[in-house]
Structure formats: structure tokens, C-alpha cells
Amino acid sequence: MKVGVEDIKCLAIGAAILGAGGGGDPYVGMMMAVKAIEENGDVTLLDPLSIDDDMFIIPTAMMGAPTIMNERIPSGGETIKSLHALEKHLGRKADATMPIESGGINSTIPFNVAARTGLPVIDADGMGRAFPELQMETFHIYGISGSPAAITDERGNTCIVNTVDNFQLEWIARGITIRMGGASHIAEYPMTGKDVKATGIHYSISLGIKIGKAVRGVGVSGKTALERLIEVTEGTTYGKCIPLFKGKIVDLERRTTAGFAVGNVTIEGLDEFQGKTLKISFQNENLVAICDGEVIASVPDIISILDSDRGFPITSENLRFGYRVQVVGISTPEIMRTPEALKVWGPRYFGYDFDFIPLELRHKEYYSRARLPPEKMVKYRDILR
Amino acid sequence: MKVGVEDIKCLAIGAAILGAGGGGDPYVGMMMAVKAIEENGDVTLLDPLSIDDDMFIIPTAMMGAPTIMNERIPSGGETIKSLHALEKHLGRKADATMPIESGGINSTIPFNVAARTGLPVIDADGMGRAFPELQMETFHIYGISGSPAAITDERGNTCIVNTVDNFQLEWIARGITIRMGGASHIAEYPMTGKDVKATGIHYSISLGIKIGKAVRGVGVSGKTALERLIEVTEGTTYGKCIPLFKGKIVDLERRTTAGFAVGNVTIEGLDEFQGKTLKISFQNENLVAICDGEVIASVPDIISILDSDRGFPITSENLRFGYRVQVVGISTPEIMRTPEALKVWGPRYFGYDFDFIPLELRHKEYYSRARLPPEKMVKYRDILR
């Protein structure tokens, strides 16, 4: 598949929805990739299950607090510098690059790298969404080393980091990123085609493009953005997109600390959610959604805040008091919900004292707990679909 | 010159005096070097002015807060791992190693590396004492890049850092060191023999050995340690060792912050200093000595606190309430007092609002300000000599 300018514009939207509020404002990454493709031509997106086992892939990404990324616009060359530094360190050229996350800016960063270097991009990633830390990767969970990694900044500083495990990689690379001003450019998790087949979340990038296309309404008509989003997600490896809440942002607490954008957003219900209050906690990404004291969605499932008008995603650092929003939950692929995976990105890892319950089960539970008569519940869901 | 176990024991003492309270407790570094020499034989110390211009030298050192270094005893292999990582990155083997500072633990670290690898050590360094930051090097001042640098920890993590200048190197390497637990092992400022001749502080290591020998009283008798220290310093490139104060530690404020051991020690005068109070501020190293509100010594000149009994140096992290101490000032070589050098390590760099005045001039001024009758002043100095 060839990825052109329109596809990148769709991916920016789709990936921001999968990004669960994190991964940075896709606008910056989109502009970089669009410019690179306009100058160098479309990028080849490779089927992750059809590549050679011994293909050599170096994923590329940005690291840091999205609040800071938005204020330190990259020139576009920094990530390529990271890629080349890692290639030089390894003594081996990459045959392709790949996103490490299918959310936010990091879904489009590899397209900028690919367009400028002539490399293809693999249609897969390691997060299936956005997550705040480097070891939060199916690559890590299923045995791939994130090291050696290359980290650069826009000043021209470069570090090669080689750690004994991926937690140490996150810890040290985060320290470097903080010293680089809170945002950096990385090349890491160098791996083979065989590794991608065994440990990647496949087709997440083309799904991001599809979701973006649906929400933007390209080729679809007569349906709301939310309806199209639900439709396009159904039947994919993700499976379900569930409308969780609708309301107005009435409180927002957000700070950049230890290299992350962390905080809480409080949303007062509107329409059928009148009288209810939803609180979403985030660490770059939305982690947990609590409605009137009850958890209604949690990591690793995706909690996304969309603007009520267009269904466009709002990333954590772009949330503002007074915004009218639609909150949706998207269930994540099974590879992300295994016991090994939940140890890495389940609610307990983030300090919450409860186990992960799949969104589609919580959703059922939530409506029954709200004691809605079954017929009303069906009606409500029908309306949304 | 061959450096054996006894020389290392002397160097540990001498370098701690030149270390101005910083550079870490020399005991740890001494034990490592002694063990390495016992197992592998004496180390060759090379005359810095007689080496080949194209000899390739990689200095080795520890980085971090001495308070932490003392609690994280290295196995001895970490610095060698840094050396090898940098050699691999550069694609060139080192012909020799060298201290980056002639103070504290870092004067002996290269002897551990040398004994275990068979490399010689160059009789020079870049600080002429100990200093807290990586750009505080005559190497830096006179144009050598500290990058690329290799940084390791005892867990087995390794970073290669390549920065656009030496301030960025300090900033990023310090960040990595903090994340590595506050202490790390580095190989940096790779340079040629020609570079050492042009930018190094020559013979500082053999001077450290001589000072240590003198203070320990090896081969000298009938004189106090202080007298021997003054005697052995006279006529070297350092020139003058001046007794500044004698007293008891009555207050000590010390904290480990941003990767440094910083604080103040207050000393109440005894004997001829009765009624006077000396306050010394340190950031790993003693920076400024203020007696009753008057600066009597400052960076880059060396302020060293010795125990009153044996004249052995006490490093910043080993200061304790109640210790009886002798404070000495040692003037530094001219290469360390040029306008370029003072920009890097003069009192203003450390936030003090005064210019550097050479110790030997301050000393004169101090005594005249104290309005001692000239004959008494001479007598005092005679006694000490």
C-alpha cells in the first residue's frame, strides 16, 4: 500500500483517537510527514505478515511530554539523525522503519523518516495506541530488547543508550529526554521481520488511516462522525468502540512533571448524561475513566475524548475548560490483554488498586449498575449506532 | 616512572589534598588501584611532554556526588567497560589513559584501569585539583571536546554521549548519572599526545604522589605534616601552600542535590585563630573560604581541610561536627588562572559576586587586614614552616 498526503491527514486523526489523548498533538507530526511526502513522494506501507524474516527494522519516534513537544517543533531531521546514529552503532542499515505506537505524533513520525530516506514503513506498532513509557510495548512484553537506542535533540546532541533491560532504558532515556528539554527523538527496538511477526500489533497503522478517513467523512455520508467511528472499528482486531460519556469540561488539572504531562479532567454530563460526572486521569495518555465513583474504562483499553461537533480527538495537552466533548472507549487487541501485557500496562502498573476488566464487559456492567431498564438501554445503544 | 602500591597510597592522600575536599573519598579508589596493581604489577606513568604527538589517550573517571560514590562501591570493572565502549564507538584503541582530575578518587581510578588493561597512565590531568563539572577542564578551556563520552553503571547500562559542546556534555551526562543512581563511570575527552602537551596540567599526578609521601612522612622526619606539605609544594607549578585557619567544626550543613554534595561548614578558631570563625562553602569541592565576613581563598585555588593531628585531608562528605581541623590554601598553576580559565571555574561561575584574587595576594592582604604587627606575622609563618 502507498501512503500519500491524504492518508497521512487521516492517520493523524485516527492515530490521535487510538492515542487515548496521548502521543502528542498529531498536527506537528502530520505537517512534517506531509511536507516530506510532498517533496519525496508517497511512502510504501508494508504488510507485517508478508515481510522477510531477516528484514532489519529500526522503529523511530519522539519521546517526552506532549505539552513540551508542541512547543519545540522539530525540523524533521532529528529522528533521521537518531536512525543513522543507531545504524552506525550497530554497523547495519535498516531495511524499514516502523512506529512504536499507533497513537499521536508517533504514528506519523516514521512516515517523515521514510519519505526522506526512501525506507518503507511496516504496518504495525508495539503499543496499539499511545502509552507513556518505553517498555510499554508488545515488543518488550514478548521479548525484544529496546536497546541499543539512539536519542537526539534539535541542538545536535546524540546519545546511544544500551541498557540491561527495557525498564532501565525507559528510566535512563527519560532522564536524557528531560535534560534535552523535555522532548527528544529516538530510534530504538531494532528488530527483524520475524520479531515483528511474533510481537507486533499488526495493521494498526492502516486501521488508524481507516478510522481517520471515517471520522473525516471521506466517502461516507448521512452518519455522524461517532457513528462512522463505531462502524469502522467493528470487526477489526480492536473490535468495539463504545460511547462512554458526553458533557462539558468543568475542571482541568494538568502539570508537566518528571517528563510527563499528568493530571485529571472533570466532565459534567449533558443530554442523557445530565447529572453525572466523569473524571479521567492521564499520564500523557488517558488512563482511567471514573463516572460518579465507578470505573467505566481503564488501560490498556483506549479512552478517547472527542470534540462533540466533529468527533475529532482532543489530546491531553489540548484539553480546555468549557469544551463540549464526547468520550469513547475502544477495546484493544487480545495481544494487549494477556496476563504478561497487563503486568506492563494494566491499571495496577499505574498505581490503581483494581484489575483490568475489558471495556465491553464494563460497559454492560455500567449500564446494569445504572439500573436502566433493558429496553431503554437497547434504545440508547441503537441511537448511537 | 613505575607506580606501585606504596605510590598509590601516597597519591590517595596527596590527591585528596589537591582535591579541595571533592573528588570523592580517595579510600575507595585507592583500594581498587592497589588491588589491581597487586594482581597485575606496577603501572607505567608517562612524562606528558615526552609522549608521541599522535598517541591516543582516553581519560577515565567516576562521575557523581561523592556522598553517593562512597555508598556504591564499584567492582572496578565499570570504568574499563566505559573505556572499551568508547574505543568501540571510535573504532580506535587507546594507547594510554589519564586522570581528568588530580583530586580525590579520580586520581587513582585510571591506575585501576591501567593495571587491568596494561595501558600506561599519563602524568597530567585537566583540573589540577578536583572540580564538580565535566567542562571544568583545561582540556575544555583550551579547545578539546569532551565528547564522545561513554558512561556506565554497575548494573551494566552503558551510554555513549555525543554533544555539541562540553556544557551540554556536563548537563546530559549529569542527567544520566543521576538516573544511574547518582554515581557513574566515564571515559571522555579522547585526545592525542599533542593535545595533552598543549592543554594538560603536567606532572600533577607525580606531585600528588610527592605530597602524599611528604604528609605521610615517608623519608622525612622532625617536621609536622603541615610543614612537610608546605615544603613539598614550594617550587612546583603550584607554588604555595598557605595555612589559612585552625579550629573546630561547629556547624555543618550538607545535602545531595541535583547530583552534587553541596553545603557549608563552619569552623571556630583555635590557638592563634581564637575568636575567629571560618565558613567554607562547597559543591563537592570547597569553593570559597570566608573568615569573619572576608573572603580569604576561592576557586580555582585549592582550599583543603586537613585533620589537625596527622595533616590528612578530609573530603566534604567526611566532614563531621567536632572535628579539629587545619585549613590550607594551595595556589594553582598559571594555566588555571588565565581569563579563559577563570570564566569556567572562577568564583563568578559558581554564583559569587567577586573576582578571583590569587591566594598568595589574598594571604598578604588577610594578614595586613588583621593588623598583626609585621614581626609577629613573620614569626607565625616561620613556625609553620
Same domain, A175 and A280: no
A161 touches chain B (CB under 8 A): yes
What CATH number does the domain containing B284 carry? 2.40.390.10
Contact B333, B307 (CB under 8 A): no
Same domain, B10 and B123: yes
What CATH number does the domain containing A33 carry? 3.40.1610.10
The per-residue pLDDT for A369 is 43
Task: Test B160 with A163 for CB contact under 8 angstroms.
Answer: no
In tens, the pLDDT along B244-284 reads: 999 999 999 998 887 778 899 999 999 999 999 999 999 98
User: How close B372 gets to chain A, by Cα (Å)?
Assistant: 52
Same domain, A18 and A146: yes
Same domain, B185 and B296: no
Confidence band for B373, pLDDT divided at 50, 70 and 90:
very low
Give the global pTM. 0.85
In tens, the pLDDT along B182-231 reads: 999 999 999 999 999 999 999 999 999 999 999 988 666 688 889 899 99
The per-residue pLDDT for A220 is 63
Same domain, A107 and A157: yes
* Closest chain A residue by Cα to residue B88: A89
Task: Test A157 with B168 for CB contact under 8 angstroms.
Answer: yes
User: How close B152 gets to chain A, by Cα (Å)?
Assistant: 9
Same domain, A236 and A196: no
- Is A110 a member of any domain? yes
The per-residue pLDDT for A257 is 81
- Is A220 a member of any domain? no
Lowest-pLDDT range of A184-198, B47-61, B312-326: B312-326
* Residue of B158, B160, B175 lying closest to A175 (CB–CB): B175
Contact B106, B100 (CB under 8 A): yes
The per-residue pLDDT for A368 is 43
- Is A219 a member of any domain? no
* Residue of B155, B162, B175 lying closest to A179 (CB–CB): B175
The per-residue pLDDT for A161 is 98
Chain A residues whose beta carbon lies within 8 Å of the beta carbon of residue B162: 85, 157-159
Mean pLDDT within B105-123: 96
The per-residue pLDDT for B256 is 81
- Is A167 a member of any domain? yes
Beta strands in chain A (DSSP E): 2-3, 43-46, 56-57, 60-64, 121-122, 124-125, 149-152, 158-162, 183-187, 191-192, 201-202, 241-257, 260-269, 277-283, 285-291, 294-298, 302-307, 324-330
Confidence band for B239, pLDDT divided at 50, 70 and 90:
confident
The per-residue pLDDT for B199 is 96
Task: Test A176 with B180 for CB contact under 8 angstroms.
Answer: no
Task: Test A175 with B179 for CB contact under 8 angstroms.
Answer: yes
B163 touches chain A (CB under 8 A): yes
Q: Is B84 helix (H, G, I), strand (E, B) or coil?
A: helix
B157 touches chain A (CB under 8 A): yes
A385 touches chain B (CB under 8 A): no
- Is A214 a member of any domain? no
Task: Test B172 with A164 for CB contact under 8 angstroms.
Answer: no
Per-residue DSSP letter, A317: G
Same domain, A185 and A334: no
The per-residue pLDDT for A62 is 93
- Is A313 a member of any domain? yes
- Interface probe with A: pick from B159, B163, B167, B180, most Cβ of A within 10 Å: B159
* Residue of B160, B168, B179 lying closest to A171 (CB–CB): B179
Residues of chain A whose pLDDT is less than 50? 366-385
Number of domains in chain B: 2
Asked whether this complex has an ipTM greater than 0.85, the answer is no
How far is residue B233's CA from residue B213's CA, in Å, rounded to a whole number? 12
Lowest-pLDDT range of B29-38, B146-155, B326-335, B368-377: B368-377
In tens, the pLDDT along B83-99 reads: 999 999 999 999 999 99
Average model confidence (pLDDT) across chain B = 90
Q: What is the DSSP string of A183-246?
A: EEEEE---EEHHHHHHHSEETHHHHHHHHHHHHHTTT--SS-HHHHHHHHHBTSSSB-EEEEEE
Same domain, A170 and A269: no
- Is A117 a member of any domain? yes
The per-residue pLDDT for B250 is 97
B158 touches chain A (CB under 8 A): yes
The per-residue pLDDT for A22 is 86
A135 touches chain B (CB under 8 A): no
The per-residue pLDDT for B220 is 64
- Is A227 a member of any domain? no
Confidence band for B235, pLDDT divided at 50, 70 and 90:
confident
Domain with B86, as residue range(s), is 2-204
Chain B residues whose beta carbon lies within 8 Å of the beta carbon of residue A171: 179
The per-residue pLDDT for B219 is 63
* Closest chain A residue by Cα to residue B181: A172
The per-residue pLDDT for B363 is 78
Same domain, B194 and B241: no
Same domain, B250 and B160: no
